[in-house]
């Protein structure tokens, strides 16, 4: 599943995730025969085959026995089954809670349940920052930022949009964390040599390539030094003005690299 997918249907999320993880577990274990799994689980080979090969939800008993036979996390697989059933029954609140516990909601996921309500969840890796809005959905980025947004590579654009949604929901720690991530991602994408892997060295190399100027270099150096501050604010919350400071820099950095340079037709 792409980490940037949005508009998640709770009715389908649990079932698709369960089937995906069960099949991956089967592959990781070397694809044992259906007969051997039937002997270990006590179910028929046809039942085991259906659970692993067909796109439909197996019974919880089959899920439990298969997970055990394959040496998987039985508790997780049963939770995924519970998520699937909650989605099928239209229990949106319960499904969202389980999806949050299992960390299966993608970054910036907009979850739509049967009641037509939409909530926007913000993730970064295994860190869950919370819900930004429930109808109406989180506000889009300001008009002034849209040309930049459209010029970004798709995988960076999704993160940039999630930062905007984090601000609209008051999730400033999320906005700060995602801004730092985007900062580092832009540097990695535009620095080719391994010895320029550090952000500070990468910025200097980007000046050498005329992707940014000396002012952005100095600003970026100051922002890079603030990276460690975010760890201290994880529990008590990152200040809004600090999150805005980092996001403003990231906006300027992306504008220089993707909007100005690529708009002028410079090859990267």
Q: Are residues 148 and 258 in contact, defined by beta-carbon separation less than 8 angstroms?
A: yes
- Measured CA to CA, the distance from residue 237 to residue 174 in angstroms comes to 9
Nearest to 52 by CA among 75, 76, 77, 88: 77
- Measured CA to CA, the distance from residue 97 to residue 128 in angstroms comes to 12
Burial 231-253 (b: 16+ CB within 10 A, else e): eebeeeebeeebbebbbebbbbb
- Residue 212 tokens, joined: 């940014």
Residue 75 burial (C-beta neighbours within 10 Å; 0-12, 13-18, 19+): exposed
| pLDDT attached to residue 116 | 47
pLDDT digits (tens, 9 = 90+) for 218-250: 999 999 888 766 655 554 567 888 889 999 999
- Look at 103-117, 141-155, 201-215 and tell me which has the smallest mean pLDDT: 103-117
> What single-letter DSSP state applies at residue 154?
H
**pLDDT range class, residue 143, cuts 50, 70, 90:** very low
**pLDDT range class, residue 177, cuts 50, 70, 90:** confident
> Alpha-carbon dihedral of residues 31, 37, 38, 44, nearest 10 degrees?
-40
Mean pLDDT rounded to a whole number for the chain: 77
State phi, psi for 153 to the nearest 5 degrees.
-60, 145
Q: Give the DSSP H/E element, type plus range, for residue 120.
A: strand 118-124
Residue 128 burial (C-beta neighbours within 10 Å; 0-12, 13-18, 19+): middle
């Amino acid at each position: 599943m792409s980490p940037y997918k949005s508009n998640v249907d709770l009715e389908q999320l649990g079932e698709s995730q369960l089937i995906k993880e069960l099949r991956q577990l089967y592959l990781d274990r070397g694809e044992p025969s259906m007969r051997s799994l039937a002997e270990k689980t006590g179910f028929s080979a046809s039942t085991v085959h259906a659970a692993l090969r067909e796109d439909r939800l197996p019974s919880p008993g089959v899920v439990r026995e298969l997970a055990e036979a394959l040496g998987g996390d039985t508790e997780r697989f049963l939770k995924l089954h519970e998520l699937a059933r909650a989605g099928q029954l239209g229990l949106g609140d319960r499904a969202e809670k389980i999806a949050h516990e299992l960390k299966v909601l993608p970054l910036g996921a907009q979850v739509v349940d049967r009641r037509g309500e939409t909530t926007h969840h913000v993730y970064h890796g295994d860190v869950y920052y919370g819900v930004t809005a429930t109808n109406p959905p989180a506000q889009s980025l300001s008009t002034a930022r849209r040309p930049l947004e459209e010029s970004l590579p798709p995988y960076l654009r999704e993160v940039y949009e999630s930062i905007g949604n984090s601000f609209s929901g008051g999730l400033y720690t999320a906005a700060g964390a995602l801004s730092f991530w985007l900062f580092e991602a832009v540097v990695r994408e535009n620095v080719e040599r391994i010895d320029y892997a550090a952000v500070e060295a990468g910025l200097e190399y980007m000046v050498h390539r005329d992707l940014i100027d000396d002012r952005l270099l100095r600003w970026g150096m100051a922002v890079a030094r603030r990276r460690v501050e975010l760890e201290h604010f994880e529990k008590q919350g990152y200040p809004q003005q600090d999150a805005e400071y980092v996001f403003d820099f990231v906006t300027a950095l992306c504008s220089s690299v993707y909007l100005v340079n690529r708009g002028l037709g410079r090859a990267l």
